[in-house]
Amino acid sequence: MAENLPERRLHSGIDRVLRVILVAYAVFQIYTAFFGSLEPLIQRGIFLGLGLGSIFLIIRLRAGGGKHPLLADLASIMLALAGYYVCFHVAFSATRLSDFMVDLTWSDRLLGMAAVVIVLEAARRTIGWFLPLLALLGIGYYLFGHQLIDGTWQPPPVSLLTFIETYYASTETIFGYMVDMGTRVIAIFIILGALLLSTGATEIFIKLATIIAGRSYGGQAKVCTVSSALFGTVTGSAVANVMAMGPVTIPTMRRAGYRGSFAAAIEAVSSAGGQIMPPIMGAGAFIMAEILNIPYSQVMTAAIIPALLYFTVLWFSVGMSARRLDIRPLAASEMPHWRELVDPYTALPMYLPVVSLIALLAMDYTPTLSGSVAVFVLLGTLLVVRSVRCLLEEGPRGLIGTYRTLLGEILEGLYSGGKAIAMVAVLLACAAIVVKVLTATGAGVKISGFILSLSDENLVLVLILTAVLAILLGMDVPTTASYILASAVAGPILINMGIEPLNAHLFIFYFAIMSAITPPVCASVYAAATIAGENFWKVAGHAVVMAIALYLVPFLFIFRTGVLMEGTAFDVIYDTTATGLAVVSITCASAGYLLGRMTWPMRVILYVGGGMLFYPAIWTDTAGLIVFAAVAAMSWLHGSAARHAEAAVDAKEDAR
């Protein structure tokens, strides 16, 4: 134990310093979100610097141990200091570097090369090898491709000085628009989510979900689905969703009668869907609004029906599985009382910030201002309601303790938010390196041309290849990175083929989300399997089967645009109804239950009927509706016959 004492003391000191830095990091983001950003290089330099340096300490404290723990600690501290310095150097030198005629000093050049290396190493420690390796290969192609490659794929020549100027000493790459989106928009929503959770939102979400879904078949699993949807509007992260809700929902579903692997799959798929759930979608949605130069409220509005379709699939999947397995709804005694959801002391601080956020976004205020106002509404409401409660229950003498507790919760939320922002900052900087390679070398255009030639410019094949690309790029990286990379390559193709930009980008974003639950590498499935203690492949298999209909939904963004609130009211209602019936058909066919248990021939017929409803034509919609009605009747008759047979057997046994 004595040997570990210096390490424990060092970790304790690092933790205290890191908490101060990350709380200050979050406060800086709140301040600049409300009062306005600083000069671009200063704002982005501070944002990336605090994140890049802190991430090494965050990862080291989380990992701990190792063969040479003291050396690992010292290495992490040195990398952290280097990460802080290379970015703060840009912030401190912003005026000089902003001069178009500036000549970079040798220290600028050395720090520029160091910054790229540190970003890649930070990304490797945070999200694994895939994205940093892709960035490293891209840099090699950018710098040396002209000497090593001939023909169409040969990039233009570039000097090391130009590389450093482009990637470091400018607002083009590492300190470019992606990091700008991180500091201006994404960070404030991460902080809002962290503060909501640290002050009690998780309990409210679960109670609200239980009241909504608990008394229906599969209520335990539907509670997971609804709570993950609500939670996802705050976090916008699949893995964060799983890690926060999984330890509660997965054991609950197991006790109800679901197999552990199936319960883990429900949590994984539900958590992934939180990223497309308005009002606070995944970080990629904010980047989408920036790329398309449209209000975020427009993205949010278009995503409402796709989000409802996503969770409709899960609702029916778990509900029909529960009926097939005869898993009963929650008992009335297990249900929370609705008064708990309107208790002003606990519920009001959760509702007011979200309502104010939605209202401001609907009025086309910027996401940055809307998010910062929601943070202040949350803090103000918490202060008022807890002060009133304390005065009514304990009197003035209890105020000091109340404020101390509230301050602790707020600081914990700011600390958690700071950690999450640091990871996003590193991710965005690394993704920016790859995107810059695609644009500076023309590789993005060449890949687009390759996809077009491979598909013979057939729209359906282009969409399928784009979906595969988004899922492949999502291997071992968060949805945001997958969306950024796939949209840089495939977005222009889809738009040039006549698809509306928002529809094209939502198609890519949706499949980037699906990469979180698609084998062989699917982060949310892995997290859920770890919590449940189940085999990864079993959980992944259940997740894919459960989500079969979800893989078809994005194609409707192109062929049934009413689901994105486009067209007349009739178009929206008609397309949504046809699509809803299609996903219900395929989901019930996968679950093996509609109005009763279905035989395999019934399931196959229902799959065909659901597929017909996906095709946008009157005759296919009519045929699909007839098939659905016929299979529903057959399943009811089959189930009724089975129930009568079981009743007859039970009667004979009772007679004996």
CA dist., res. 512 & res. 483, Å (int): 5
How much is the average pLDDT of 119-130?
A: 90
Per-residue b or e along 223-259, where b marks 16 or more CB atoms closer than 10 Å to that residue's CB: bbbbbbbbbbbbbbbbbbbbbbbbebbbebbbebebe
Q: How many residues does the chain have?
A: 656
End-to-end CA distance of the chain, in Å?
A: 70
Is it the case that residue 48 has pLDDT exceeding 70?
yes
Is it the case that residue 98 has pLDDT exceeding 70?
yes
Fill in the amino acid letter for 202: T
CA dist., res. 489 & res. 254, Å (int): 42
Lowest-pLDDT range of 249-263, 337-351, 444-458: 337-351
Q: Interhelix angle for 399-440 vs 160-167, to 10°?
A: 150
H/E segment holding residue 192? helix 187-198
How much is the average pLDDT of 512-519?
A: 86
Tell me what pLDDT residue 546 has.
85
Query: What are the pLDDT digits (tens) for 14-35?
Result: 889 999 999 999 999 999 999 9
Phi and psi for 519 in degrees, rounded to 5?
Answer: -65, 160
Tell me what pLDDT residue 2 has.
43
CA dist., res. 281 & res. 288, Å (int): 11
The residue with greater pLDDT, 187 or 339, is 187
Tell me what pLDDT residue 1 has.
41
Query: For residue 475, what is the DSSP state?
Result: T
The residue with greater pLDDT, 154 or 25, is 25
Contact call for residues 467 and 456 (beta carbons, < 8 A): no
Q: What is the Cα gyration radius of the chain? A: 26
122 pLDDT tier (thresholds 50, 70, 90): very high
Helix (H, G, I), strand (E, B) or coil at 326: coil
CA dist., res. 560 & res. 568, Å (int): 12
Fill in the amino acid letter for 369: L
Lowest-pLDDT range of 146-155, 328-337, 365-374, 555-564: 328-337
Contact call for residues 594 and 606 (beta carbons, < 8 A): yes
CA dist., res. 303 & res. 296, Å (int): 11
Beta bridge partners of 593: 597
Q: CB-based contacts of 83: which residues, under 8 Å, 6+ apart?
A: 49, 52, 53, 54, 55, 56, 118, 122
Phi and psi for 616 in degrees, rounded to 5?
Answer: -80, 80
Tell me what pLDDT residue 275 has.
84
Query: Percent of the chain having pLDDT more than 90?
Result: 33
Q: How far is CA 134 from CA 43, 141, 475, in A?
A: 27, 11, 12
Is it the case that residue 392 has pLDDT exceeding 80?
yes
CA dist., res. 536 & res. 543, Å (int): 11
Lowest-pLDDT range of 6-10, 129-133, 480-484: 6-10
CB atoms within 10 A of CB 453: 9
Query: What are the pLDDT digits (tens) for 157-188?
Result: 988 888 998 899 888 899 998 899 889 988 99
Q: What is the average pLDDT score of the chain?
A: 86
CA dist., res. 52 & res. 84, Å (int): 7
Is it the case that residue 509 has pLDDT exceeding 80?
yes
Tell me what pLDDT residue 242 has.
83
Lowest-pLDDT range of 239-248, 415-424, 490-499: 239-248
Tell me what pLDDT residue 645 has.
56
How much is the average pLDDT of 114-137?
A: 92
Count the helices and strands in the chain (H runs, E runs). 29, 0
Chain position carrying tokens 């219900």: 584
Is it the case that residue 7 has pLDDT exceeding 60?
yes
Q: CB-based contacts of 649: which residues, under 8 Å, 6+ apart?
A: none
Contact call for residues 418 and 15 (beta carbons, < 8 A): no
CA dist., res. 118 & res. 132, Å (int): 11
Q: Before 492, cis peptide (omega within 30)?
A: no
CA dist., res. 446 & res. 472, Å (int): 18
Among 58, 62, 38, 33, which residue's Cα sits nearest to residue 415? 58
How much is the average pLDDT of 121-145?
A: 91
Chain position carrying tokens 């310093």: 17
DSSP string covering 340-401, please?
GGS-TTTTHHHHHHHHHHHHHHHTT--HHHHHHHHHHHHHHHHHHHHHHHHHHHT-GGGHHH
